[in-house]
Amino acid sequence: MTTVSLVRCPSYEQAALGAALDRALAPLGGLEAFVRRGDRVLVKPNLLAGEPSERATTTHPALIETLLRRLLDLGARPVIGDDPAFGTLERVCEACGVAEVARRYGVPLTPFNRPMWVKSPRPRVRPTFCIDQAALEADVILNVPKLKAHRQLYFTAAIKSLYGCMPGKRKAFWHMACGPDARFARLLVAFAYTVRPALTVVDGVVAMERDGPKGGDPFPLGLLFAGTDVAAVDTLIAAVIHARPADSLLLNAACQLDIGTPWMAKIAVAGESLAACARADFRLPDLVGTFFSPTRLARSIWRNYRMTRLSKAKRGMRNASVKAIDSPLLVDERGREL
C-alpha cells in the first residue's frame, strides 16, 4: 500500500499551516525522513503566471514559507525553482508573493534555463527528456503544486506541476507535437517519473475550480495532501473532488503505463477520512483538448521573448555544461550516454 496524507487546513495563517503540515508529514516519517543537514533541496511550486496569490493561480507563498522554515531548521539548503508559462520567474514570484518570502529567508530563486537530457523510465513514450540542471543537482526535490481545475487535463496537481522542470518552450512544443490528448498525458506522466520528487505537498487550502489553470475561481477546499508517489496523490485528490474517471487523463495515462499507484484500492489514506473530506460541489471543466496550434506556439514564444529579453541580458548566457551526475543517467538528445 502507498500512503497519502489528507489533512484539514482552514487557512494560510502560519500556525494553522504549520500544524496541518506536521500532521500531513507525520505518517510519512516527517520532513526529516527526506532531508538531511546540508542537502540541496529544490522546492518546486506551481508558478504558472504573475498573479496575486488570492487568485489561486500559484502555490500560496505562506505554504512555501512554512516549508522553508522547516527545511532551514533541518540545516538544508533550499532553492525555489520553476519555469513559468507566462513571464520570468522573478516577475511571477514578485506578483504572487513568493519573492518576498525568498528574500526574508535568504533563499535564492533559480530560473530553469540550463537544459540537460536524461533517459526516460518509459522509452516507448519518449527515450529521453529535457530536464533542467537544477533538478539534477538537487539532493531532494520537494514538489509543492496547487490543486486546480484544468480545461485541457480536467484537473492538475502532483503530476502536472513537474512539467515545469522542462525548461523553455519545449513544454508548449509538446502540446503541439504529441497529437491526441491521451498521448500528451502519457508524456506528462513519464516526465513526472523522470523527475521523481522525494515528496509532494499539495496546496489545496484554496484550490481553483471551474476554468483553470488560470482564470478560474478560488475554491476554499481547506485541505493539504502529501505523499511520495505523485500518481497516488493525484488519485486521492480525484476521489476528493469527485473527478470522473473517464476524464482524468493523467491518471488514465499512469494506468496505461503501469507506473506509480493510480488505484485507490492500493492507497492507504492517513489523517482525515476520504468520506469526511469529499466535495461533490467542486466544479470541474469541460475538456477542450491539449493541442497547441503552430500559431499559438509562435505567439507564445514571441510573447515570452519580449518578457524575458531584459532579464536575460542582465544575467548573461550561462554555460550549460555540468559535471557528471549519477542519477538519473545523463544522455544527449539521441539517448547517447555522456
Residue 317 located in a structural domain: no
Q: Give dist(CA 162, CA 143) in Å, integer.
A: 7
Q: Give dist(CA 182, CA 159) in Å, integer.
A: 15
Which pLDDT value is given to residue 169?
73
Residue 318 located in a structural domain: no
Which pLDDT value is given to residue 332?
47
Long-range contacts of 330-333 (CB under 8 A, 24+ apart): 330/116, 330/117, 330/118, 330/136, 331/117, 331/118, 331/119, 331/128, 332/117, 332/128, 333/117, 333/128, 333/130
Residue 321 has pLDDT above 60, yes or no: no
pLDDT band at 300 (very low <50, low <70, confident <90, very high): low
- What's the whole-number mean pLDDT along residues 197-216? 95
Q: Give dist(CA 201, CA 133) in Å, integer.
A: 22
Residue 324 has pLDDT above 50, yes or no: no
Which pLDDT value is given to residue 85?
86
Q: Give dist(CA 187, CA 152) in Å, integer.
A: 14
Which SS3 state, helix, strand or coil, does residue 161 take?
helix
- What's the whole-number mean pLDDT along residues 134-148? 97
Buried b (16+ CB within 10 A) or exposed e, 297-334: beebeeebeeebeeeeeeeeeeeeeeeeeeebebbeee
- What is the average pLDDT score of the chain? 88
Alpha helices in the chain (DSSP H): 14-25, 61-73, 89-96, 98-105, 133-137, 158-161, 170-177, 181-195, 230-240, 249-257, 274-277, 294-315
Range in 74-78, 126-130, 224-228 with the lowest mean pLDDT: 126-130
Range in 32-36, 127-131, 252-256, 317-321 with the lowest mean pLDDT: 317-321
Residue 322 has pLDDT above 60, yes or no: no
Q: Give dist(CA 43, CA 41) in Å, integer.
A: 6
Which pLDDT value is given to residue 308?
54
Domains identified in the chain, total number: 1
Q: What is the pLDDT of residues 149-159, one digit of tens each?
A: 999 899 999 99
Residue 271 has pLDDT above 70, yes or no: yes
Residue 329 located in a structural domain: no
pLDDT band at 168 (very low <50, low <70, confident <90, very high): confident
CATH code: domain of residue 84: 3.40.50.11440
* More confident call, 65 vs 332: 65
Range in 32-36, 110-114, 174-178, 307-311 with the lowest mean pLDDT: 307-311
Q: What is the pLDDT of residues 170-189, one digit of tens each?
A: 777 766 776 668 899 999 99
For residues 35 and 87, the answer to whether their CB atoms sit within 8 Å is no
Residue 338 located in a structural domain: no
Which pLDDT value is given to residue 337?
47
Which pLDDT value is given to residue 288?
80
- What's the whole-number mean pLDDT along residues 38-50? 96
Using left for φ > 0, alpha for ψ between -120 and 50, and beta otherwise, residue 313 falls in alpha
Residue 332 located in a structural domain: no
Range of the domain at 246: 2-310
Residue 322 located in a structural domain: no
Residue 306 has pLDDT above 90, yes or no: no
Residue 192 located in a structural domain: yes
Residue 336 located in a structural domain: no
